[in-house]
Amino acid sequence: MTALCLILLALLVLFVWRPGFAFRHQKPAFYADTAPQFDIRKHLSGDMISEGIIYGPRGQVVSRFTADFRGAWDGESGTLAEDFTYATGATQQRKWFLTMGEGGHFTATASDIIGEGQGVQIGATVRLTYRIKLSDAGGGHVLDVVDWMYLMENGSILNRSEMRKFGVKVAELIASIRPKGA
């Protein structure tokens, strides 16, 4: 019985941790020599459009959305307004407040973000980590989020985000972001 329990425990650990292992262990330095150079003041500026999907914990699509983004910068401070429309017809707005720091680092805040998000732009990538409190309609859960954005040669951005609760992946988001009219 003890051997069977150990085997089941090992399988559970592999099931819970393995699917997100590679994503969680990406490091910004891996992308230092990639091009084009991602500068959020340039690439998250003006009117943009986004389309995306959200996967639930079992890998099934649980939500689809489109969004209008508007980025504006004044020196080292910027805002990114996001207006989402979900396939259900529900809408959501978020306004990020971004502040550039040294060496490509930046901070990000928004009304549903707990504390301050920490970001870094390096090479063709941006990584942003933060804690988000979902709306009551979304269960009111607090999730740990890691966003990776990858700048493509044509100026489009691909975004992949993992959301975790107690270290267990509960959702994943995949989205594209591109300048409006592109």
In this structure, of 14-23, 95-104, 164-173, the range with the lowest mean pLDDT score is 14-23
3-state secondary structure the chain: CHHHHHHHHHHHHHHHHHHHHHHHCCCHHHHCCCCCCCCHHHHCCEEEEEEEEEECCCCCEEEEEEEEEEEEEECCEEEEEEEEEECCCCEEEEEEEEEECHHHEEEEECCCEEEEEEEEEECCEEEEEEEEECCHHHCCCEEEEEEEEEECCCCCEEEEEEEEECCEEEEEEEEEEEECCC
Q: Break the chain into its structural domains and give their ranges.
A: 28-179
Fold of 28-179: Lipocalin (2.40.128)
Residue-wise pLDDT tens digits, 149-169: 999 999 999 999 999 999 899
Residue-wise pLDDT tens digits, 47-73: 999 999 999 999 999 999 999 999 999
